[in-house]
Chains A and B, each alone.
Chain A
Amino acid sequence: METLALVLGALLTVLCVLFVARPLLRQARENGPDSPAEVARVRLLEERDRALAAVKELEFDHRTGKVSDEDYRALVGPLRRQAAEALRALEHEEHPEREGSVVDVHG
């Protein structure tokens, strides 16, 4: 029993060492950290998603009666502007050559 335990223990150790060493033996490309541009792009995408979700949420809340007509009118403009700004900033970040494109967030 003791010998079997030793053999199984040794086998386990060898398998673990091979598994751990495998990535080091591979000729893989070492990816560098994300560029500042990539970090900025992710931030803009988050802002875009947040702004668009806010517009949708406001419209649904208005439809369920949670937001009054008066509140809706006061809130929807700034939110749409915010969403448009986020889309514009993202467009600029991804395609700096396309300036002045029109963004529609009403649909």
Chain B
Amino acid sequence: MPELGRAALVAALGLILYALVAGAYAAWRGRRRLLDSATNALVAAFAAVAVASLVLVGALAGRDFSFEYVARSTSRELPMGYTLAAFWSGQAGSLLLWLLVLTGAATAALLCNRRLVRQVLPWTVPILAGVAAFFAFLVVGVASPFETQVAPADGAGMTPSLQNPYMMAHPPMLYLGYVGLTIPFAFAMAALASRRTDERWIVATRRWTLGAWTFLGFGILLGAKWAYEEVGWGGWYAWDPVENAALMPWLVATAFLHSVMVQEKKDMLRVWNVVLVAGAFALSLFGTFLTRSGVVNSIHSFTESSIGPFFLGFIAVVAAFSIALVLSRLSLLRARTRLESLVSREAAFLYNNLFLVALALTILWGVVYPLVSEAVRGVAVSVGAPYYDFFAIVFGLPLVLLMGIGPVVAWRRASLRSLSRQLVWPAAIALAAGALLLVGGAGSSTAGLVGYTFGAFVAATIVLEFVRGTRARKSLGAGGWWSAFSGLVGRNRRRYGGYVVHAAIVVLLVGAVGIGAFSTTEQARLAPGQSLAVGDYTLVYRTTEQRRGANAQELRARLDVHRGDDRLGTLRAGKNRYLAEGETSNEVGIRTDWLRGEDLFVIADQFNADGSVFLKALVNPLVNFIWLAGLVFVLGSAVAMWPDAREQRRLAERFARDGALARA
């Protein structure tokens, strides 16, 4: 039923345009019933986009190749999970997903904050509609998933590298993050347009921002896991432009999550915060542009398309609109207090913001420079990993140090004496850890040694923060230790959830430094019966096996794995020849040792006619800490997002007369 899909999208575009125009008029003239009507139009647009999405899901599930999109992205033999994931593997489908998530998120945000939007921030409706209108225009007029054709006998299939379980979850996660950043952007801009720059837009969007940031962060890690297993070069993050595209808004959103606390506690950084919100949103649009325009020569640029200019134009409009609005409201955003000391929690947040934004801008320059160079000078250049690694260390290490120092500095001002007293134990633990690592042989990499020492410092600070806080709560009569601990976290969910997220960064650091500084690589051409030693392992090549998979011919080198005298098992590494797609992919063999946290990672690069195989084997120490960090990160975010009944009551009382905050 492509006609229904098309009709639903046209209806959605009409509804969104109505929400834009009627919502703007209603906000300008204070017409509340018209604003309600515009809000309803956005809700109805979500329903219409959901209908269109169901039509596409139905066409994918039924392998209806009369849909050009279905024929381009799937084939009869493609397993059903990947067939359904084709919804977001192509350009038109992924834009439809953007629109679906955006209208869904807009509906939820508007309904949760109906009274706030109605009475205080009416401009939220047209701003959300403006963003949605752009994506609705794209899926209706530029890249429709409902183009039809005479159905071919079979489809072209899916790009092999996308046929990975992590790829089924990674794009929707990223899109939830990208789209989620639209909500704080819309509320922040609406607050400026409505001249209501008090805290309400922050309170209303706090969980939206945290949620979007969590999805984006977790999505980045899922993408890293996919790259590790599927791209098969043995690493987890290659500073690919499209990976960077997701990292940049995440870094800016991270800066915002810290600096917004300064606004809440000290009523400072109000201009900076709206700039960060707008920047994170613009970067999320830029990320979608990079992924979908095919402008960057990247492993992710599976499509070449004509949507690039539209995206660039829209990003320019968003930037101009945000800058104009911020400049016109500068007088309302003036801070009422000043930084009292350079040694204070708010100063630490400021330093953290400067490093995070500097890192994001450096990455942005690395992504944009090749495009600018090619456009202006006609010279194609590439910015490689050494550039990014250098700045990741220059800005990253101070950030890690700040993660350790920031939490123990008091608000307003702290004397150097009390600060040094707080830092004695973490510093001693870090130095002891560094010395132990040096004795243990970690001195082969100075960067690795420094990274682990800093990580130990942060971990010690976090543990001590929990210990000191629990002890203080207990001394206040909180009962037993557990009751004191749960009371501590329950009363300060954002702070202690944030510490858990900091712990996740330490765990990530352990894994990233492990694989980056201490991995071992060996390669050789092996005939059957010959062996290759890598690290503590010995691989014995036995034979080559072939079998027919669900939609590919699978070729594998079978290897026996030994460590010392122990035979640990069998590992298979090889290639898949995808029949419908006519493409070949590397299928690496990974043996995980959970106790050591390390992976034995084998790539079978080349199968020769004489039965020999060219193997590359790596031992990636501690790499599994990277994936563990993802789980700790989600746990910390969940703690920070968990509703706090006490705070809800306080906010309800604060905004009772307005009735302007239904749910914080």
A residues near B (Cβ < 8 Å) are 1-2, 4-6, 8-9, 12-13, 15-16, 19-24, 26, 28, 30-34, 38-39, 41-43, 45-47, 49-50, 53-54, 57-58, 60-61, 63-68, 70-71, 75
A-side interface mostly:
helix
Contact-residue size bin, chain B (C-beta under 8 Å from the other chain): 35 or more
25 A/B residue pairs, CB under 8 Å, sorted by A: A1-B1, A5-B4, A5-B7, A6-B7, A9-B3, A12-B11, A12-B51, A15-B44, A16-B44, A16-B48, A19-B40, A19-B43, A20-B44, A28-B32, A30-B30, A32-B30, A33-B30, A33-B119, A38-B658, A49-B650, A50-B264, A63-B472, A65-B422, A66-B422, A66-B468
Task: Tell me the smallest distance from the CB of B468 to a CB of chain A, in Å.
Answer: 4
Chain A residue numbers with a CB within 8 Å of B658 are 34, 38, 42
Contact B411 A23 (CB under 8 A): no
**CB-defined contacts of B476 to chain A, threshold 8 Å:** 63
Interface residue B489 (Cβ < 8 Å from any Cβ of A): no
Q: Chain A: which residue is nearest B43 at the CB level? A: A19
Specify which chain B residues have a CB less than 8 angstroms from the CB of A4 in the assembled complex.
Answer: 1
B1 close to A19 (CB less than 8 A)? no
Contact A75 B40 (CB under 8 A): no
Are B410 and A26 touching (Cβ within 8 A)?
Answer: no
Instruction: Provide the residues of chain A in CB contact with B196, threshold 8 Å.
Output: 34, 39
Q: Give every chain B residue within 8 A of A30 (Cβ-Cβ).
A: 30-33
Q: Are A71 and B410 in contact (CB under 8 A)?
A: yes
**Contact in complex: B415, A71 (CB < 8 Å):** yes
Q: Which residues of B contact A65 (CB under 8 A)?
A: 418, 421-422, 468
Asked if A60 contacts B414 (CB within 8 A), the reply is no
Check if B118 sits within 8 Å of A46, measured CB to CB: no
What CA separation (Å) do A41 and B37 show in the bound complex? 30
Cβ-defined contact, B33 with A60, below 8 A? no
| Residues B3 and A6 in contact, CB atoms below 8 Å apart | yes
Residues of B within 8 A of A19 (CB): 40, 43-44
Most chain B CB inside 10 Å of its own CB: which residue of A9, A13, A33: A9
Instruction: Please name all residues of chain A whose beta carbon is closer than 8 Å to the beta carbon of B31 when the two chains form the complex.
Output: 30
Q: Say whether A5 contacts B3, CB under 8 Å.
A: yes
Q: Given the interface contacts A1-B1, A5-B7, A19-B43, does A38 sit within 8 Å of B30 by beta carbon?
A: no
Chain B: CB-nearest residue to A3 = B3
Among A12, A49, A58, the residue within 8 A (CB) of B410 is: A58
Nearest-neighbour CB distance to chain A for B412, whole angstroms, equals 6
Given contacts A66-B422, A67-B418, 14 further A-B contacts (CB under 8 A): A1-B1, A5-B4, A12-B11, A12-B47, A15-B44, A20-B44, A32-B30, A39-B198, A57-B265, A61-B410, A61-B411, A66-B408, A68-B417, A75-B413
Q: Which of B190-206 contact A (CB under 8 A)?
A: 196, 198-200
Instruction: Enumerate chain A residues within 8 angstroms of B120, measured Cβ to Cβ.
Output: 34
Q: A16-B48, A61-B410 are in contact. Are A71 and B40 (CB under 8 A)?
A: no
Q: Mark B17-41, 1 if CB is under 8 A from A, else 0.
A: 0100000000000111110110011
Q: Chain B residues with Cβ under 8 A from A58's Cβ?
A: 410-412
- Establish whether residues A31 and B32, one from each chain, have CB atoms under 8 Å apart when the complex forms: yes
Shortest distance from the beta carbon of B173 to any chain A beta carbon, whole Å: 30
Contact with A along B625-648 (1 / 0, CB 8 A): 000000000000000000000000
Tell whether A66 pairs with B410 under 8 Å between CB atoms, given A12-B51, A20-B44, A54-B265. yes
Contact check, B119 vs A31: say whether CB atoms are below 8 A apart. yes
Complex partner residue of A20 from B4, B41, B264, B468, CB under 8 angstroms: B41
C-alpha spacing A63/B476, complex, angstroms: 9
Are A13 and B415 CB-contacts (below 8 A) given A31-B32, A31-B119? Answer: no
Whether the pair A22, B40 counts as a contact (CB closer than 8 A) is: yes
Residues of B within 8 A of A16 (CB): 11, 15, 41, 44, 47-48
Give Cα A9 to B48, complex, Å: 9
Chain B residues, Cβ within 8 Å of A67: 410, 414, 418
User: Is B334 interfacial (CB-CB < 8 Å)?
Assistant: no
Interchain nearest-CB distance for A58 vs B (Å): 7
| Set of chain A residues within 8 Å of B411, measured between Cβ atoms | 54, 57-58, 61
Contact B7 A12 (CB under 8 A): yes
Instruction: Determine whether B654 belongs to the interface, using a CB cutoff of 8 Å to chain A.
Output: yes
Q: Which residues of B from 160 to 218 have beta carbons under 8 Å from A?
A: 196, 198-200
Closest B residue to A79 by CB, please name it. B412
Instruction: Assess whether B469 is interfacial by the CB under 8 Å rule.
Output: yes
Interface centre among A5, A32, A64 (most CB of B within 10 A): A64
Smallest distance from the beta carbon of B129 to chain A beta carbons, Å?
12
Question: In the complex, A49 Cα to B422 Cα: how many Å?
Answer: 28
Closest to B650 in A: A49
Question: What is the distance, in angstroms, from B143's C-beta to the closest C-beta of chain A?
Answer: 21
Complex: how many Å from CA A23 to CA B200? 25
User: Is there contact, CB below 8 Å, between A64 and B468?
Assistant: yes
Knowing A12-B11, A71-B414, say if A28 contacts B37 (CB, 8 Å). Answer: no
- Taking CB atoms, residues of chain A closer than 8 Å to B409 are 66
A31 vs B47: C-alpha distance when bound (angstroms)? 29
* B8 contacts partner chain A, Cβ-Cβ < 8 Å: yes
Among B7, B47, B412, residue most surrounded by chain A Cβ atoms (within 10 Å): B412
How many whole Å from B277's CB to the nearest CB in chain A?
19
| Distance of A33 Cα from B658 Cα, bound (Å) | 10
Contact between A42 and B198 (Cβ–Cβ < 8 Å)? yes
Q: 7 closest Cβ contacts across the A-B interface?
A: A23-B36, A9-B7, A68-B418, A5-B4, A16-B44, A5-B3, A63-B472
- Please name all residues of chain B whose beta carbon is closer than 8 Å to the beta carbon of A75 when the two chains form the complex: 412-413
Known: A13-B11, A24-B33. A68 touches B119 (CB 8 A): no
CA A8 to CA B51, docked complex, whole Å: 10
Q: Is the CB of B657 within 8 A of A38?
A: yes
Contact present for A9 and B468 (CB under 8 Å): no
- Distance in angstroms from B622 CB to nearest chain A CB is 33
B414 close to A66 (CB less than 8 A): yes
Q: Give the CA-CA distance A41 to B654 in the complex, in Å.
A: 9
